[in-house]
Amino acid sequence: MTPAPLMHTPHHAPAGNTMAQLDVLGTAVAQRLPGTWTSTHLDLNDQATRTDLVDRLWDQGIAHWALNDFVQPDGGCLILGPKEQRLLLLRRPLAQRRRAPYVVSGLVPGWAVELAQGRDPANAISIPADPVRAAALIARRLLSRYEDALHAWTEQDTLDAWWQSLALHAQRSGTAWRRTGRVGQQPTTPLSASAATRPPTRSR
């Protein structure tokens, strides 16, 4: 007998077991996102874990509010995808009877936290308990912007590393140089630089 398509596979958790419901939703959503994704439970009673997540949230709106201002007794789900993509799934506070009782946010990689500060403050979205609709909303409203942000952080990190290397070389050799701009702006190359010392580029 041919198994039913994944999008029609039912997912249930014991009634009243809200932690299990969260974990089941995280697993079901991960199975429906484009690419290869997995889900794992997070204990948010651990203060170190919670602090790290607050620092890395790609959001200063509803997800930050949910994690920073409310106890999350059911914990959270970390949904891991390709190319350093990480999503955090939480219960939305005060939303038991809402149509979208969960919230999901992208997480900033540890190396990019400083690069992401002060940019795009509200990126998390609310999602329903239906994993098919939830995954569709995440794919449509969150993932493309998140992928673009990851690409921008990677480019900026590469450029920053190049400038640091160049500054060290200039310090050692006495080369005159100056730095301008961020990603998307034409940098000023060292006054004595050759083409071989121009900033590297990364393909997406």
Task: Count CB atoms within 10 A of the CB of residue 149.
Answer: 19
Sheet containing strand 76-80, strands side by side:
38-42, 76-80, 86-91, 102-106, 125-127
DSSP β-ladder status, 76-80 and 125-127: unpaired
pLDDT band at 52 (very low <50, low <70, confident <90, very high): very high
- What pLDDT was estimated at residue 96? 65
pLDDT band at 165 (very low <50, low <70, confident <90, very high): low
Q: In this predicted model, what pLDDT tens digit does every residue of 53-112 receive, in sequence order?
A: 999 999 989 999 999 999 999 999 999 999 889 999 999 988 666 788 999 999 999 888
- What pLDDT was estimated at residue 192? 42
Tokens of 168: 């060290």
With a pLDDT cut of 90, the percent of the chain lying above it is 48
pLDDT band at 134 (very low <50, low <70, confident <90, very high): very high
Phi and psi torsions of 127, nearest 5°: -135, 155
Tokens of 38: 């997995």
Domain ranges of the chain: 10-142, 153-197
For the chain, give the number of residues.
Answer: 204
